[in-house]
Structure 1
């Protein structure tokens, strides 16, 4: 396709998918999102609305590509290099509580705002006007600042505010130290040899460092609320996406690193012939969590203490890990799998619910960008990574030849995958 044809094709695709979206919204009496201060935050379209949902994703990809082509490769690269300024102005908005000091209705002069946030006018105004290029604040009258929907969300949406704070305040400096950490510790798989460790001068692994700072831990936990329960991460994808009904009556599932047991509760509610043992470290088994199993599940779900790096003692049919492995490098993932071996019986299944990297150019732009970004962020914080399907196969084989990789699949509309392996003691038994 010639470059001129590409421009026309993208333009036509944008027009076609915009019409699908607007026709759908009009038929439902709905509005589109808007940066107007009282506008909608998100498109009111769920994955169940298949045609408009796919049209929106296609529109995002096409508009991004057309934007980049319109800039051209040379200018695109220049813009990419100085995009850090976006983080800078957003960080200033957070740090100086600018959004909180702009009235929710009406506007405030730059001078009055500068006095309220204690930042000199000539330092403050450039930062705010830069933020405006990202639809954060507006200038309804020259010299005055008012909210857009985006800036107002910083005041009203606490998890989203924490997300912004976490990435602007806590991880930004860590990201700038990743390349330095790669040079200092070439090929390291250790969780305390990262950009975080250089940025904050700590020897602690990321999650230990989090817990050492109460304010940081609170900010992190609140930030994760803004995505953890989002579409594509909901528990029902696991409940519906794995063939739990095919397990024998009375089968035991060990929920490894299962926190407070919520996923086990959800599966046990639907599949009443299955039993669950939720294991996590002692820190997760406080007086507040012990006995927190719903009354109707207490005969089938138990909360227990176990560190998955230590040898497993519970013989079970399934060992289930949800969002565990992407937080560890190969070295430690192998240790986790090897620690299971003492308890594994023939045919025992290991089921992992985690992110999986797509093959390049096989998913929507937004999904690929999200997963590639997540992959990098795991390196920033814990020296780990996201994995492709072949990586999962290799991980099981590296841990023990007696692991037989079965398959990996993504339940419909889920953002997370299910990865399954089986224990076969007769296949390539290793000498202990």
Structure 2
């Protein structure tokens, strides 16, 4: 936030001080120093807690403040809104697989790349040069390009590359229609999202109509859940703490709205005594997941087509599940539907075996004036992203707590929260118990 003490020299001195402190921390932990050269790797880039995260956040905030002071309002705004041209250039390279055509440990001329990608060389040259200005490529000599650590990441990691492309295309176009969507002041979860204004239909329907983009989106979300989002890690760590994951007794876990079962597969590989039933209301992801299932897991993972809202009772299965996982299923539902869905678990939660409903979902951080803009931006960006793409509202932890209480005052709920650099996740362990309320409600 702007202050009266913003001056160049104190800011620069703070940047130097925090940089020196960060270098000492890296050295003490024997972490490699950062570099943009191909093959570079450092734990600085993958550590998102402790002293390293604190120093990185402080440094980024200070450098952004210094940048604004040096450029001034007009210069800052010019750069802030001009990124669309870089985004369009990078998306072009991704769409035509240009980055993959450059040897990771070599170079390629723009003429060679243009011939392989079937693009005009004079146009491709301008596109590559603009992308190189962001250090995503390196123009090692005139018209000849090589990789940096940034482009190497895009070449090596298909899931992350898919996420970047999804952000550059679907979300960028949709965000341009946010203002149009607000000309019809529909409340959250009702009316059209900005995505629908842009593309003519809801996002999931659009991806179904354009399966190549739908496949890319699925890869993107799988990558995000494993890298940028702490949700799956929270669940995995909780499973590790449970004594029944180490026993020899087969234990059933139900992954509700589990799509292709990719997370169930990950858990099955980590915990050999766990058995999984992946449920979804759409046959397509279930069929894809069943087809892709490793042969060694076919006796421990089954797939079941099931309506999301149908009441769950002890008669649903011959085996009472230990855990019912509900991951990322509630955020896109309005309050009434959320309460209805949560209440559908009550008959099963009342069983003497005392199964646990594990809910893991997005959380909007409460406002905190002590959290600087650099730390705040990713979370506020996620708030707007969910609104743009689905006209949905990210709930705060207090709003989530009110929903569970409304579903049943006899829910015994334990809440934990985890942050990554880009996301806030909540995990609610729900069991039947507590006091008060009507029986079954």
TM-score computed with the length of structure 1 as normaliser: 0.77
1:128 aligned partner: 128
CA distance in structure 1 between the aligned counterparts of 2:371 and 2:52, rounded to whole angstroms = 17
C-alpha contact 1:411 1:417 (8 A) present in aligned 2: yes
**Hey, what does 2:196 align to over in structure 1?**
197
How far apart, CA to CA, are the structure 1 residues paired with 2:52 and 2:288?
Answer: 47
For these two proteins, the number of residue pairs brought into alignment is: 423
2:398 maps to 1:373: no
Q: Check the 8 A contact 1:94/1:165 in 2, yes or no.
A: yes
How do 1:22-421 and structure 2 match up within 5 A? 22-27=23-28, 30-36=31-37, 38-40=38-40, 43-44=43-44, 47=47, 50-105=50-105, 107-110=107-110, 113-114=113-114, 116-120=116-120, 123-184=123-184, 186-187=186-187, 189-190=189-190, 193-202=192-201, 205-230=202-227, 233=230, 235-241=232-238, 244=242, 254-259=254-259, 260=261, 262=263, 266=267, 279-281=279-281, 283=283, 284-286=285-287, 289=290, 304-314=304-314, 319-341=324-346, 343-345=348-350, 350-361=357-368, 368-397=376-405, 400=407, 402=409, 406=413, 408-410=415-417, 416-420=425-429
Q: 8 Å contact 2:268–2:275 — kept in the other structure?
A: no
Q: Distance in 2 between matches of 1:311 and 1:342?
A: 8
Stretches of structure 2 lacking an aligned partner (at least 5 in a row): none
Shift of 1:340: 3.2
C-alpha spacing 1:379/1:13, structure 2 compared with 1 (3 Å): same
Q: Is the Cα contact below 8 Å between 1:46 and 1:53 reproduced in 2?
A: no
Counterparts of 2:295 and 2:7, CA distance in 1: 57
| 1:17 is the counterpart of 2:18 | yes
The CA distance in 2 between the partners of 1:132 and 1:20, in whole Å, is: 31
- Could you tell me how far 1:109 is from its partner in structure 2? 4.8
1:293 CA drift (Å): 10
Q: Distance in 2 between matches of 1:431 and 1:105?
A: 64
Q: Deviations over 1:296-349 (max 9, x none)?
A: 995xx8764432222222487864322222343445433422433555539986
Compared CA separation, residues 312 and 87, structure 1 to 2 (3 A): same
Relative distance call for 1:406 and 1:101 in structure 2 (3 A) is closer
Question: TM-score if structure 2 supplies the norm length?
Answer: 0.75
For structure 1, the 5+ residue unaligned runs are none
Cα distance in 2 for residues equivalent to 1:293 and 1:367: 44
- Conservation of the 8 A alpha-carbon contact between 1:177 and 1:198: yes
Report how far residue 389 of structure 1 moved: 1.0
Question: Secondary structure at 1:138's aligned position in 2?
Answer: strand
What displacement does 1:40 show?
Answer: 1.6
